[in-house]
A and B are shown apart, each in its own frame.
Chain A
Amino acid sequence: MTGQIKLATYFGISLIIGCGSTYAQQQVIGAPPEASNMRLVGANDLQARSAYQPTIHHQGDRWIAYIGHHGGTDDIPAPLNPLTGKAEPNGTSIVDVTDPAQPKYLRHIPGQEGKYEAGGAQMVRVCDGKALPKGDRNAVYMLRSFGSEAHEIWNVADPANPVLVTRIGDLKDTHKSWWECDTGIAFLVSGAPDWRTRRMTQVYDLSDPAHPVKIRDFGLPGQEPGSTGAVPTELHGPISTGPQGNRVYFGYGTNKGGFLQIVDREKLINGPKEPTPDNLRFPEIARMAMSAFNGAHTTFPMKQMPIAEFAHDKDGQTRDIVMIVDEAILNECSEPRQMVWFADVTVENRPMMISSFTVPESSGSFCERGGRFGSHSSNESMAPVYYEKMAFIAFFNAGVRALDIRDPYHPTEVGYFIPPITAATDKRCVTIDGKDRCKVAIQTNNVETDERGYIYIVDRANTGLHILELTGAARAVAGLPR
């Protein structure tokens, strides 16, 4: 063989191997899902709308899924709603999931016009009127964001025919709010126009949803109106443990320079409200800085978890844990890995990271599949079926991951499900040499569970809703019958 032929043969083989390794893991339409200990029960395409928060509500004898959406895409700014025959800007999907094998799309409530994060209605929380101190007992209230400019409350007692109750507007951004159904106190992620950050907290009394009462604005010192100097990283979202737990866990930063902030709920609601630096510090118990590489998207508290390994210790047998989920932002691993962290906050003024979880990249060549790879969010239901036993993490192109968290010092993956792409799945691009190079991959964005144990995952790249259940060994972790 001459040198030239040897060279050509070498390059030919290299090219074949190179192409093979690059594209072997690319998803194709019609392929089966990739799964372990999780099974598909039912699905709905959600009218091919990019999805954010799902909230599953037991409503009379029905189970209704309320799903928030981002704005539309460059290609399809306002997808067609087949129920109305009209193109509608993405808003909120309402789906009857009483029979999870046959989910029935009931209604789409349009959101703010605008593409991607600039439009839609990403966030959804639901409270029964009979649970709220001053609510209409016959009503079911859905709190949602309206794009970046407002929060809205709808009466969804008849989920196919929602009625707008009230709107809180004139904001410059909104995001992942929290609403206590037993008190009506809401921690709304807003962008008050005069604050120096896009997202901060507005605490409202929504116990009578028709008459919202603002309690205060809240954020980190340096974000308040009139302040100068460095601006602390912006809020992503809070989770409250209500008056009994008396704590609110705030996550700041999304994929960079995150903070977990532990706040005394009573002092937050009833303390001095003028947004001065001292007043903003007053309810803060502790603030734990994360690496500059990671942010806090979800801060999910799990109090007094018994730790088997510590059972015979005379102190510290139970631990208060906060699961912190970062959000991956950039496509194709163009940033430090965003993942899941567990913090022991038992000694509140000395919180400490104790463990972490990520999906092994090599298990699916996820950096090459296209789109985002890394965590985004966890289920937020505190229903006994999974609470303090299992957590479900939306991991973008790695689908949903089921974790055994009974020992939060050593979280272990016990299942996963990566849906197949469909013709509706949107492309995700990176810039190479000044030009877009695009791939199509599943982008599992959010996950929620219901009291029955079903797991609902939704896709940011327009692939819709998948309803799952655990199988095999994963069912035993949750104590579910085989």
Chain B
Amino acid sequence: MRRLLLSAFAVAICSLSGSAAFQPAGPVERWHEIAWPFPRDGWPAGRAFHCAGERCGDDVELYVRPKAGFCNCDGGVADDDEVDRVTDLDLMSERFVALEPGKAIRFAGMPGRLRDYDLRMSDGSRHAAVGMAVSRRCDLLVAVAHGAGAVSGIQRVALDFLASSDMARWMISAMDGR
């Protein structure tokens, strides 16, 4: 009985743990949590993930975190300038150029915007990146995905991943300060 309880507890912990692999949306896509790779800034560190596999192209990394109090409480993420301003693109490189006008998105029940970028990394290489920002009242949740592959693919796998039930649950929990 005791062994059974311990096993159930271990399963529960693993299912909550960030180190657990997330169930892929497609057949050959695997996300794994990695350490937050950036130095401390104005907001607490968020969660970082790495995706390898066919659907992710070579490699895709995604960073997601709440930014409490950083949003226009009434307007939300109103325009593309807001996406340029609030997403964490500048943690990777201050040199980025939007590829086209953004579009409205919603994840974890929160509305916002998404925009694609060309990101010039410090080693001179170019990455495609997708900046996403959604809001609830005065708080933001921002996510950035980037990789060496095509931006359309990065956008697709990132949105699929963020739409997973595990991530949606965590994002809501993080916005609640838990």
Nearest CB of chain A from residue B115's CB, rounded to whole Å: 12
A463 to chain B, nearest CB (A): 21
- For the complex, is A134 an interface residue (Cβ under 8 Å from B)? no
Decide: B176 and A433 in contact? CB cutoff 8 A.
Answer: yes
A389 interfacial by beta-carbon distance below 8 Å? no
Given contacts A197-B85, A256-B42, A334 and B72 within 8 Å (CB-CB) = no
Residues of B within 8 A of A433 (CB): 176, 178
Let me know if A329 and B69 touch, CB within 8 A: yes
Residues of B53-95 at the interface with A, using a CB-CB cut-off of 8 Å, are 68-70, 72-75, 81, 84-85, 89-90, 94-95
- C-beta contact mask, B138-178 vs A, less than 8 Å → 1, else 0? 10000000000000000000000000000000001001111
B96 within 8 A of A: yes
Cα-based distance from A234 to B95 in the complex (angstroms): 18
Minimal Cβ-Cβ distance residue in A for B120: A229
A431 to B178, CA, bound (A): 10
- A-side contacts of B178, CB under 8 Å: 433
Give, as a whole number of angstroms, the nearest-CB distance from A436 to chain B: 10
Known: A229-B97, A330-B69, A431-B177. A115 touches B81 (CB 8 A): no
B41 at the interface (CB under 8 A from A): yes
Interface membership of B98, Cβ < 8 A:
yes
Chain A positions 416-475 with a Cβ under 8 Å from a chain B Cβ: 430-434
Q: How far is the CA of A429 from the CA of B85 in the complex (A)?
A: 27
Q: How many A-B residue pairs have CB under 8 A?
A: 64
Is A118 within 8 A of B42, CB to CB?
no
Query: Contacts A335-B69, A433-B178 known; A231 to B42 CB distance under 8 Å?
Result: no
A228 in contact with B74 (CB, 8 Å)? no
Interface residues of chain B: helix, strand, loop or mixed (majority): loop
A-B pairs, top 3 by smallest CB distance, nearest first, are: A118-B74, A230-B90, A292-B42
A301 contacts partner chain B, Cβ-Cβ < 8 Å: no
B120 to nearest A CB, angstroms? Answer: 9
Interface residues of A (CB under 8 A from B): 114-118, 195-198, 228-231, 234, 255-257, 292-293, 329-330, 334-335, 430-434
With A433-B176, A433-B178, A434-B176: A228-B97 Cβ-Cβ less than 8 Å: yes
Known contacts A116-B74, A117-B74, A433-B176, A231 near B69 by CB under 8 Å: no
B95 touches A229 (CB 8 A): yes
A-B contact pairs, 29 of them (CB 8 A): A116-B74, A117-B72, A117-B73, A118-B75, A196-B81, A196-B84, A196-B85, A197-B85, A198-B72, A228-B95, A228-B98, A229-B94, A229-B95, A229-B96, A230-B90, A255-B69, A256-B42, A256-B43, A257-B41, A257-B42, A334-B69, A334-B177, A335-B68, A335-B69, A430-B177, A431-B176, A432-B176, A433-B176, A434-B176
Residues from chain A with a CB closer than 8 A to the CB of B72 are 117-118, 198
**Interface contact A292-B41, CB-CB below 8 Å:** yes
**Separation in Å of the A114 CB from the closest CB of chain B?**
7
A440 to chain B: closest CB distance in Å? 19
Q: Are B94 and A334 in contact (CB under 8 A)?
A: no
Question: Are the C-beta atoms of B81 and A231 separated by less than 8 Å?
Answer: yes
CB distance from B82 to the nearest CB of A (A): 8
- Smallest CB gap from A196: residue in B: B81
A197 contacts B81, CB within 8 Å?
A: yes
Q: Which of A115, A196, A256, A292 contacts B70 (CB 8 A)?
A: A256
Chain B residues with CB below 8 A from A229, complex form:
90, 94-97
Chain B nearest CB from A89 CB (Å) reads 14
Contact pick for B68, options A117, A198, A293, A330, CB 8 Å? A330
In the complex, chain B residues whose CB is within 8 Å of the CB of A257? 41-42
Q: CA–CA, A17 to B55, complex, Å? A: 56
**Which chain A residues lie closer than 8 Å to B177 at the CB level?**
334, 430-432
Q: Report which of A231, A335, A431 forms a contact with B85, defined as CB distance below 8 A.
A: A231
Residues of B within 8 A of A330 (CB): 68-69
Q: Chain A residues near B73: list those with CB within 8 A.
A: 116-118
Partner of B96, one of A117, A228, A430: A228
| Cα–Cα, bound, A118→B72 (Å) | 8
Closest residue of A by beta carbon distance from B79: A172
B residues in contact with A329, CB < 8 Å: 69, 138
User: How distant is the Cα of A432 from the Cα of B172 in the complex, in angstroms?
Assistant: 12
Asked if B42 contacts A334 (CB within 8 A), the reply is no
Rounded to whole angstroms, the CA-CA distance of A430 and B138 in the bound complex is: 12
Residue numbers in A under 8 Å from B138 (CB-CB): 329
Partner of B89, one of A197, A230, A434: A230
Residues of B within 8 A of A114 (CB): 74
Distance of A196 Cα from B97 Cα, bound (Å): 13
CA distance A230 to B83 in the complex (A): 11
Per-residue CB contact flags for chain B residues 95-110 toward chain A (1 = under 8 Å, else 0) read 1111000000000000
The answer to whether A293 touches B42 (Cβ under 8 A) is: yes
**Set of chain A residues within 8 Å of B75, measured between Cβ atoms:** 118
Question: Could you say which residues of chain B place their CB within 8 Å of the CB of A430?
Answer: 177
Interface hub of B85, B98, B138 (most chain A Cβ within 10 A) = B85
